[in-house]
Every structure is written in structure tokens, then in C-alpha cells.
Structure 1
Amino acid sequence: MPGPSTSTSRRWWTLATVSLTQLLMVLDGTIVNVALPSAQADLGFTDASRQWVVTAYALAFGSFLLLGGRVADFVGRKRVFLAGLAVFAIGSAWGGLTHSGAELLAARGLQGLAAAFMAPAALAFVTLTFPDGNERNKAFAIFGSLAGAGSAIGMLLGGVLTEFFSWRWCLLVNVPFAIAGLVAGFVLLPESRAQGDRRYDIAGALTATLGFGALVYGLTLAEQSWTSVWTVGSIVLGLVLIAGFVVIEGRVAHPLLPLRILTHRTRAASFTVQALLGVVGVGAMVYLALHLQLVLKLPPLLAGLGTLPFTLSLMTAVPFAIRLIDRFGPRRQMIFGPLISAIGVFLLSRITVGGDYWTQVLPGVVLMGLGMGFTVVPLNNLALAGIDPHDAGVASATATATNQLGGSIGLAALTALYVAVAGKAGEGVAAMVAGYSAVFTAGAVVFVAAAVTAALLLKPSREAVAEVGEPVAPVLG
């Protein structure tokens, strides 16, 4: 953590650097959503492969985050952050220049892998640079709101680039920003690493990565059949490996994910809400983009602009959310934030074949954004308050991993739901609308579950963060 000699301006420039790269990672999860129809027509891949353009990124991102967090802790957070950013640029360039669907999926996976090593280091820098007080709340509000708005910003930018240039620029645009981030990171970021033993938990890394990969793959296969041997086998294998990971982490001397990070109920609440927000955040945005283009027949630019109210309402909520944390603590907005979003997604579920954007889409998008604005501000602060610097990277990784894995698992499950409902509804636009409505209804239920989780696990006091404890200084250099 920067010491007393670190200037205030340098701290905020550090925050700007890691926040903008975090925005880059988040928006890359959705920037291709609006571009998918164009990319599919250009490269000729199937509808099943279309989903994997999104899932490959989210799955690689989420599955390797815990390992990325530990590598950042042990090797050095600045080194890992810069190396990940360089690989991210390479994957973006590869994806933008590819000429086959298989290569595009591989490039998206490489982007996700690189992001898995960047993200924990980025969040750890915020945690360690702003250890406590009002500045910490503001820093996490900025970091969280950019991350929360990233999905909608990605869709808007994807629409602009696809409409006026090519879907390929949805990936190529990352390269100059990554280069700028490399320069700023090299100049501004201090090196830090964990104290003490730095041995890796190989068994934990393998079971976690393979377990989540098998689970998401099985849920993806469920689009065709829930009862096939491959679907059931993959899901069961994933659950067994994840259970094995938990057992391993409780027994090994140097776990990849120390269970002490999960056992405090405030952190458990935060991680659970992160996962649930990921389910809706990724899935709802994918199907919103498809509805805008395939049902309302909007061109890519207008489809991207159609999601802009989400970002605007989220950013509008952030200043009020900061004041509410200072006055009432995080619990209240962790409850009413998801409930507001639930109302918004439920309104989206009322879409009809003959409906329009202004009456059936806009109100829901605005409410979803407002609720997310109140929710994301306290979320990372709760997840990382009081974390020992030895665990800063892996705790940051856990916070991000739960969101990304929630997104990849949620997208697979919601796609299976869409296929089942649309298949029963027949063919054509009416079937698509029925499927989208079912997805949005499920999203509203998930947001309600997030509010219930916060109500049950968070203590009703503004001291909830302080009760976790304050962090101590890490080793720099």
C-alpha cells in the first residue's frame, strides 16, 4: 500500500489507470453482443457457437481468476497486471483479424485468460491504495460503477463500431487502450506482493478450473437435451470437482482460496450477490441485444444506443449511493438496489411481438440501471474490507470470479431456458419473444434472491464493513 509519502493525486491516477482497464475487461464481455449477427454472417458459425463467443470469454475469465489472484499475490501485482494487459492486447488483435469461427473462440478464450490475471491485481491496487475512510468509499464507488456500467457501455460501443466500421473493430479497439494502460501502469503503479510462504496449490487450481469448466459446458449442452449422457455427465463431473476443490482447500497447508475468506457472513453475502448479479448482468444483456435487433429490427447503432439509458441511470444513482453508505451503511441499498433492478427486468419480461422500445424496453432498462447503481457501490468494499494483504489478490479474484462465473453459468442456464420455452412456442418472432420473456422473468427472480441474501446475511448497521476489520500494510517492491 502506498505510504504517507504517496501523493493524493498519484493515488487517484492509480485508481484511474486500474479502473479504465477494469472497464475494458468488463465491456469486452458484452461488446460483441451487438456484433454477433454480423460476425456470424461473416464467419459462418452456428447458433450454438454464437453463444460461445460470449461464454468462452466469461468462462476463461472466471475459471482462472483464483489462480490469477494467487499469482499476482506471489509474483507481484504490477508484473502480473502488465503481463496480463499485454496478452489481452494480443488476444484482441487475433480475434479482430481472424477468419474462422474456431479462431474467434480461441481468441476470446485468450482474452478471458489474460483478464483473469489482470482483474485481481487491479482490484487489489484499489484495496491497498485506499485502505479506509471516505476516500475508500469514493474509490470503490468509481471502480464499481465503471465495472457495473461496462456491460452497457460495451453494447453501445459495439453498436457504433459494427454500424460504421466492422464487427472486427469490437476487438481491435482494445489494442490502443491496452497500450495506453501498459504505459500508465508502468509509470504509476507500485509493485506489491504477499509476505510469507508463496507455494501454489496446484490441486486446488486444477479442480476449480476443470470443475467450473465442466459445469458450464454441461449447462450449455442442456440447450439440446437435459437428459443426454454428455449433459448429465458434464454437470455431475463439474459439481464433484467443485466439491473436491472445497475439500482440498480445507485440508492443504497453502490453499488457493483460503476458506477464511469465505466464512465471514458479510463477505459470503457480497460474493453471493456478485454471482447473482453476474447471472442477470450477462444473460439479460445478451437477450436484450437480440430482442432489439431480431424483434424490433433496430440496426446495430440504435441497438447499442438502446442500452445507453442503463448506463446513464446507473451513473446517476452512484452519487446518491455514496451518501447513503455514509449515512445508513451498505445493508439497505444492498436490499433495495436489487429489488429496483428486479422490477426493471420484470417489466422487460412483458415484451410483446407488436410492442415498441419506448413503452416496453426503456422503463425496464432505466430501473435495472438505477438498482444496479445502488448495488455495485458497496459490493466490492464489503467483499474486500479487512482482507490481509497476503490474501488481497485472491480475495479480489474471488469477488470478480463469482461475478464472471455467475455470468457464464447464468448465460448457459438462461439459454437452455430460452431454447425450451421458444421451442414449445413454435417458430418465428412470437417464439423468440416468448423465450426472451422467460429469460427476463427468471432474471427478476434472481435479483429478488440477491436482495433476500443481503437481508439475511448483512448486519443492520453501518458498522458492517468495520466489523470485518481493517487491512494491514503489504510489502512493496
Structure 2
Amino acid sequence: MTTSQLTQDQKPRAARREGHPGIALTVIAACQLMVVLDATIVNIALPHIQDALKFSTTDLTWVVSAYTLTFGGMLLLGGRAGDILGRRRVFMTGILLFTAASLLGGLAQEPWQLLAARALQGVGGAIASPTSLALITTTFPEGPERNRAFGVFAAVSAGGGAVGLLAGGMLTDWLDWRWVLFVNVPIGILIAVLTPLYITESKRHPGSFDIAGALTSTFGMVALVYGFIRASEEGWRDSLTLGSFGAAVVLLLAFAIVERRAKDPITPLRMFADRNRSGTYVIMLSLAAAMFGMFFFIVLFVQNVLGYSPIKAGLAFLPVTAAIAVGAGLSQRFLPTLGPKPFMAAGTALAVLGLTWQTFVTPESSYVSGVLGPMLVFGVGMGLNFVTLTVTAVSGVAQHEAGAASGLLNATQQVGGSLGLSILTTVFGSASREEAKQQLPDFMAHASPEQKAAFLKSHELPAPWGHEVLAHGISTAFIPAAAMALLALAVALVVVKVRKSDLEALSGVAGPAGG
């Protein structure tokens, strides 16, 4: 390729049908919704997947983790790829890979086939998601129009998890568990067709790919999460548990060294020099860790304790989507006037309150008192934070690093969610085992012969003893979740310092919502 050809190829390519920002935003938001909800859409279908493919209970957790870990680990490389190769081109590549993986997952006949497809889905999502956020900066001019686009993107990112739970319940009840994967195929194809028509290509920036950084970060997080999951089953002194944690330390230290020496690192460490941006990453990491755990355990509670069907369980999460939208709308409208710190502080405080409330859940808790109330409080708090954190993280970043900045923000959300869920699962497992030991004498004294025979076969206590065990484990797991949110609150209050110049810098990106 000649220099003139390279220069020409680096120039932005216009969309074939310009002047349709609404369609362009719909395409970008549809991609983000599909990618985000796929982290949760399979949750309600997990029992059906286990029966169909004969997963063990331990291996079943990787149906979720295989996606979130590859998604979070490869997001950094995906953002960098968009900067170097062109965001529209990389966006389409990620969508097509995600769509193909969804088809393969739906056709899986063996557990390893589904896990491989889920990991491949994560890679496709990691390529498309950070590029979709960066495309907003390419497609929409600074000011109110870009602010509204950021608001839509953040609301979709925040509410996608709840939408996935509802969609998963409907598809599993009405069709089959495979449709939680098949549903992505027509949507992905439509996005791939519309993208070159309505989205302009970005300018390509010369650079290289930090493959070593992507691999060390991904495998480091896989080792760390595996260590926590292993500890929940085999204990903290188990050799594989200790070995996994040791490997995680080595790999993550190697990642830091690679990033310091790389010519074009996927995570430019200078981004952490700004205390406000660093604070947003810590807040996102902590809140995502708590949020993933909340969705996971509340699904268990409403289905196994309250006895909800998959569809009813999905409907039970709709109010949290509305709460997130309310919080996002408030922050979008008043962010230019008040600045980010009030919304970070108020949002994280509400998250702490909601999660603390959930530590009081018992088998006697109703949906309103044990689920709806704390979810609404938590949802408003997350809504206040998502727009604020998104805008703050990408503000003041050079155009050629917008993909890396947005990729880092998304990575902290996914990696934080995976890590948080593994930690909460460890706490849940320990608390559940202790409660089961306390319930066992009463069970043996009062259970029927049929119940005892079923227990000897499954090693799981039936209701009402099983409900006591599950509820105790869930309530205990929410204690570290609340602690994670409390850490986010401390960072919002102490670390984030907003000056007048910061407000002026934000005004160009987060102009008045009303225009």
C-alpha cells in the first residue's frame, strides 16, 4: 500500500445516507443494548440450559462468566482497534462476530460448545461496545446533541441488564432456552446492514496493537475470578485456589509492566493522572460489582423462594429499569449546572441504602418489602451515576484516545461485575453451608421419608428449610455488596474534586439536555 493510499484510507468516510442522526443513534444504542443484555439474558434460562446440556452446577456458572470475562478483558483492545482501524469498520466486525457466536451458541449440543460460543460472544461484544460509544463523538457535534446521545447510551447500558432478565424469561417460557441466543441473529444482521448507510467512518490513527496487554489482563482476571469461585467450593487452603490467586497476581503485574513499556498501550496509564477520571473508574468498578450480584441473587430469591415463573421473575425487574431511567434523566438535565460530584455522591449513597436494605431479606419477605423497595432506591442511584460517570470519563480526552477511554470505562464495569459476583458467590456459599448445618437437625427431626430420600439424592434441603438457607446466604452476600457501594461513596466524596474549570470542560460535552 502506497503512502497516498494509506493517507486516503485514513480519512473519514461519510455515511451513504447522511442527515439521519436519529437512525444513527438507534443503531448505536441497539448494538449496546444487545451486548449489555446478553450478560444477563441467559440467567433465567440457566436451569433449562443445565438440564439440556447436562452441566454440573459448578460449570454452569461459567455460562455467565465466559461472556463477562472475555468481554471485560478484551474491551481495552477493542477500543484501541477502533482508533487505529476506523471505528465504523471495527464496529461492524464486532457485530458480525457477536452474531455468528450467538448462532453457534444456540446450536450447541455439548457444554464446551456453548462455553466457547459465549466466550466468542464476549470478544465480539468487546470489539463493538467501546467503538459504539466512541462513534457518538464522531457522529454527534459537541453540545446538547451529543449530551442527549450520551444520555440514551448510558440509559441503555444501565437498563440493559434488567431488560435481559425480562427477555430471557419470555423467550424461555414461550419458545426455548436457545432463543435467548438466537434472538441476537436477526438484530445483529440488521445493525450490520444499517451501519454503513447511516454512520460515518472515523479518521484512522496510526498505531500498533497491544496484544500482550490484552492477553495478560484477560487471563489475569480469569485466574482471579476462578480463585474466588474455587474458594467458595473447596476452601481458601485448596492448592488450586492458591495457585489461581498466585497466577492472577503474576499476570496482572505483568499487565502493568507491559502497559508501562508498550509503545501504544491499550490502557494509557496517563489517563489515571487525572483524579476525577480515576475516581470515576473506581466508582464504576465498585458499583458494577454490587449491581451484578444484586441481579444474580434477586433472581434466585424471586424464583426459588417466592416461586415466580421465568416471565414473572423478568417482570419483577421492570421497575428497576424505570428507576434507572429517572435517575439518568435527572443527571443528564442538571449535570451542566451542578457538576458531577453531587450526582456521584447522591447516587452512591442511594446504592448503599438499597443494598443495605437487602441485607434484611428473609423467607418471609414479600416482593414489595424485600425486592421492589430496595431495587427502586438502588436503581435511582445507579441512574444518577451512569450518565455522570460516562460523561466524566470521556471528557477532556484526545479524539484519538476516545476509544481507549471508553473501553476502559466499560472494562471496569464488566470486570468489576465479574469479580464482584465471584466474591459475593464465595460469601453466599460459605453462609449457606453454615445455615444448612444449623437447619439439618430440625430437618431430620421433622421431614417426611420422601423428603429425606430426596435430600440424600440431591444434598439440597427442601422448603421450608431450603428457603431459610437460601435467604440467609443472599442476605449475607449483600453485606459485602453494600461495602463495595460504600467504597464508591467514599471515593465520590473524597477523591473527586470538581473545579470551575472542570465544569467548563464538561459543558462542551454535557450541554443542557433541553437544548
TM-score in same-fold range (> 0.5) = yes
User: 1:392-411 residue pairs with structure 2 within 5 A?
Assistant: 392-411=402-421
Is it true that 1:214 corresponds to 2:252 in the alignment?
Answer: no
2:328–2:385 CA contact under 8 A, matched in 1: no
Is it true that 1:332 corresponds to 2:342 in the alignment?
Answer: yes
Is it true that 1:199 corresponds to 2:237 in the alignment?
Answer: no
CA distance in 1, matches of 2:266, 2:368: 48
> Per-residue displacement from partner, 1:177-210 (whole Å, max 9, x unpaired)?
1111111212112112443x41223332332222
Residue 342 of structure 1 aligns with an amino acid whose one-letter code is V
TM-score by length of 1: 0.93
CA distance in 2, matches of 1:411, 1:371: 19
Is it true that 1:261 corresponds to 2:271 in the alignment?
Answer: yes
TM-superposed CA distance for 1:457, in Å, is 2.1
CA distance in 2, matches of 1:47, 1:252: 41
User: 1:313-324 residue pairs with structure 2 within 5 A?
Assistant: 313-324=323-334
CA distance in 1, matches of 2:478, 2:31: 30
Gaps spanning 5+ residues in structure 2: where?
1-10, 437-460, 510-515
The structure 1 residue matched to 2:386, chosen from 367, 372, 376, is: 376
Give the SS at the match of 1:420: helix
The structure 1 residue matched to 2:88, chosen from 70, 78, 89, is: 78
Is it true that 1:312 corresponds to 2:322 in the alignment?
Answer: yes
Pick which of 454-463 and 274-283 moved more.
454-463
Give the equivalent residue in structure 2 for 1:474.
Answer: none
The structure 1 residue matched to 2:180, chosen from 170, 173, 178, is: 170
Pick which of 121-130 and 3-12 moved more.
3-12
Is it true that 1:458 corresponds to 2:496 in the alignment?
Answer: yes
Is it true that 1:146 corresponds to 2:184 in the alignment?
Answer: no
Give the equivalent residue in structure 1 for 2:97.
Answer: 87
CA distance in 1, matches of 2:503, 2:70: 31
CA distance in 2, matches of 1:79, 1:396: 17
> Per-residue displacement from partner, 1:365-412 (whole Å, max 9, x unpaired)?
111111111111111111111211221221111111111100111111
User: 1:127-138 residue pairs with structure 2 within 5 A?
Assistant: 127-130=137-140, 132-138=142-148
CA distance in 1, matches of 2:343, 2:12: 31
Tell me which stretches of 4 or more aligned residues in structure 1 moved more than 4 Å. 1-9, 465-471
The two structures, once aligned, show a CA RMSD in angstroms of 2.3
1:265–1:458 CA contact under 8 A, matched in 2: yes
Pick which of 302-311 and 266-275 moved more.
266-275
CA distance in 1, matches of 2:169, 2:57: 20
Q: Which has the larger radius of gyration?
A: 2
Pick which of 441-450 and 18-27 moved more.
441-450
Gaps spanning 5+ residues in structure 1: where?
472-477
CA distance in 2, matches of 1:395, 1:217: 27
2:23–2:198 CA contact under 8 A, matched in 1: yes
CA distance in 2, matches of 1:199, 1:4: 25
> Per-residue displacement from partner, 1:129-168 (whole Å, max 9, x unpaired)?
3453233322211110110000011001111111211121
Give the SS at the match of 2:20: helix
CA distance in 2, matches of 1:198, 1:146: 31
User: 1:179-258 residue pairs with structure 2 within 5 A?
Assistant: 179-195=189-205, 197-224=206-233, 225-258=235-268
Residue 374 of structure 2 aligns with an amino acid whose one-letter code is G
TM-superposed CA distance for 1:2, in Å, is 8.4
> Per-residue displacement from partner, 1:402-432 (whole Å, max 9, x unpaired)?
1110011111111111111111111522111
User: 1:9-48 residue pairs with structure 2 within 5 A?
Assistant: 10-48=20-58
Give the SS at the match of 2:324: helix
The structure 1 residue matched to 2:435, chosen from 425, 436, 439, is: 425
Pick which of 390-399 and 298-307 moved more.
390-399
Give the equivalent residue in structure 2 for 1:441.
Answer: 479
TM-superposed CA distance for 1:318, in Å, is 2.5
CA distance in 2, matches of 1:455, 1:136: 28
Give the equivalent residue in structure 1 for 2:165.
Answer: 155
Distance 1:35 1:127, change over 3 A: same
Give the equivalent residue in structure 2 for 1:281.
Answer: 291
2:350–2:378 CA contact under 8 A, matched in 1: yes
1:194–1:391 CA contact under 8 A, matched in 2: no
Distance 1:4 1:106, change over 3 A: closer
Distance 1:51 1:261, change over 3 A: same
> Per-residue displacement from partner, 1:321-376 (whole Å, max 9, x unpaired)?
22221221111011111211221122222111122212211101111111111111
1:419–1:435 CA contact under 8 A, matched in 2: yes
TM-score by length of 2: 0.87
CA distance in 2, matches of 1:334, 1:391: 24
